[in-house]
Amino acid sequence: MKNRILGNGGLEVSAIGLGCMGLSFGYGPATDKQEAIKLLRNAFEAGITFFDTAECYGPFTNEELLGEALVPFRDKVVIATKFGFEDGNSKKGLDSSPARIRTVAEASLKRLKTDYIDLFYQHRVDPNTPIEEVAGTIQDLIKEGKIRHWGLSEAGAATIRRAHAVQPLTALQSEYSLFFREPEQEIIPTLEELGIGFVPFSPLGKGFLTGAINEATKFDPTDFRNTVPRFTEENRKANQVLVDLVKGIAAVKQASPAQIALAWLLAQKPWIVPIPGTTKLHRLQENIGAVGIQLNDAELKDIETALKDIQIVGARYSEQLQNRVGK
């Protein structure tokens, strides 16, 4: 496994991290606890040192899972978690008040069985709490040794600048993949200018870029993709053209579609660290294999040219969730 640096503060992590949400939340029933612990420890043994969670994944159970799984090698891993929802429940409103941030920090430390959080993200920008106030609270927590780095998730460029001016940001976590390229317009140039790392979640397009999903796929009733316009049966069929492109490149490179999607992200900037999630050991190993795949300039240019002719159909979020991003 190769390493990368997030932000000017020098946070070193594995070039691919592990998004842990799906082990407990969001994509159907939670993974059996012992199986999940086994997967997390296998990830570490395979070279992954960057693990992403949040208090609202469960709520709370995902942090508890990571705390138990990673405690034997806590000093060798980077754990990222998040605050920002009322009572830690993503179905409720946003709350990044200073008191709430402190409450979450203390509770997360206990659940994660640690005395410091490597990377603490604001999960979504709270319109009721000025970002300067959020940054000031984080600054105090850093001085107290409870937080080492901080970041934002799905924030807009203006908010990133305001937050960074008070307490330098180490990373932004937002959606970015061949399936969703909007960050290229304003976000990535802003991060590059300010020296902030980028941690793309859903780097495999919520599983779509693996080639394992088509218009006939049926999701578990509790799977949040049922609420995503881009994942209607009709839109999955229309967007299959992108998967066909990725599959074609994968065949030439003797790789899997998922590996090509991740290798493409890694090739965009040296400070981009995708965090694909999985509940399956063979998928974990497949994702890690992307680090060894190099897309040269000619191949990247060919992909760029091909993408110009592909129109992605459907929004990436329901209207309610979309209202929480880009602020």
How does pLDDT run across 144-155, given as a tens digit for each residue?
A: 999 999 999 999
Instruction: Tell me the per-residue pLDDT of 265-278, one tens digit each, with 9 for 90 and over.
Output: 999 999 999 999 99
Q: How confident is the model at residue 235 (pLDDT cuts 50, 70, 90)?
A: very high
Q: Is residue 235 part of a domain?
A: no
When pLDDT is averaged across residues 34-50 and rounded to a whole number, the result is 98
How much is the average pLDDT of 286-292? Answer: 98
In a domain, 220, yes or no: no
Residue-wise pLDDT for 107-157, tens only, equals 999 999 999 999 999 999 999 999 999 999 999 999 999 999 999 999 999
How many percent of the chain have pLDDT more than 70?
100
What's residue 237's pLDDT? 97
Residue 153 falls inside a structural domain: yes
In the prediction, which pLDDT does 279 show?
Answer: 96
Indicate the pTM of the whole model. 0.98
For 67, left (φ over 0), alpha (ψ -120 to 50), or beta?
alpha
DSSP annotation string for 114-143: -S-EEEEEESS--TTS-HHHHHHHHHHHHH
Report the catalytic residues. Answer: 57
pLDDT band at 210 (very low <50, low <70, confident <90, very high): very high
Whether 171 is in a domain gets the answer yes
Residue 307 is assigned to a structural domain of this protein? no
Looking at the structure of the chain, the number of domains it has is: 1
| Contact (CB, 8 A) for 20 and 62 | yes
- Would you state the pLDDT for residue 154? 98
Q: Is residue 287 part of a domain?
A: yes
Cα separation, 236 vs 314, whole angstroms: 9
- pLDDT score for 129: 98
In a domain, 314, yes or no: no
Confidence of residue 245 (pLDDT cuts 50, 70, 90): very high
What range defines the domain where residue 7 resides? 3-211+256-293
Mean pLDDT rounded to a whole number for the chain? 97
CA angle 281–282–288, rounded 5-degree value: 90
Mean pLDDT of 175-198: 98
CATH number at residue 286: 3.20.20.100
Domain for residue 310, yes or no? no
Q: Which long-range contacts (CB under 8 A, 24 or more apart) does 35-39 make?
A: 35/279, 36/65, 36/69, 36/279, 37/65, 37/68, 37/69, 38/281, 39/278, 39/279, 39/280, 39/281, 39/284
